[in-house]
Amino acid sequence: MILIYKKYGITPQSIKYLSLIPFIIVISIIDYHTTYIYDITILSGIIIQGGVFLISPDVKTYISALLIGIIIPYILAKITKGLGEGDIGLYGLCCFVLGKNYSIYLISLSFILASIYCVYILITKSGKIRKIPFAPFISLATVLIILTNFDILNIWFNIIGN
């Protein structure tokens, strides 16, 4: 939270990010332990973010981000059967906060992070991965985007290049 304050100061953007963090922490912990995401936590987050967006000048961008964050994961969930309904809601909440410019990036980054974790599990533990909680990866991707914007790709390519 201190990093968000240092990066954004006291702005409407920092307020929406700081009000999102407790929700994604709670949702991730619950999903990790139960592999279930409660609708009330998602809806509460969307309602609180809606209140924060009353001070934002560009509400249409965030509404379209909410739709992107629900529609694309819904299609992925129906095709792959790899996402739960709670994950779709969490994508909606996080995309709503980040805006439409980061929605596709968030979805892609969360799948990349989850696949890295799955490779690690396959290497270190024998056996087949059946089911992993996905909310922690959505939350981690959200925090990485908040802290780095698109710079995370540049950071990654700098690491690979050296």
3-state secondary structure 8-64: HCCCHHHHHHHHHHHHHHHHHHHHHHHCCCCHHHHHHHHHHHHHHHHHCCCHHHHHH
CB 142 within 8 A of CB 102: no
Structural domain range at position 70: 2-161
pTM of the full predicted structure?
Answer: 0.89
| Cα(66)–Cα(61) distance, integer angstroms | 9
Could you read off the pLDDT of 6-49 as tens digits, one per residue?
Answer: 888 888 888 888 999 999 999 999 999 999 999 999 999 999 99
Number of domains composing the chain: 1
Contact between 147 and 103 under an 8 Å Cβ cutoff? The reply is no
Write down the pLDDT at residue 162: 66
Q: Which residue has the higher pLDDT, 139 or 2?
A: 139
Q: Is 127 helix (H, G, I), strand (E, B) or coil?
A: coil
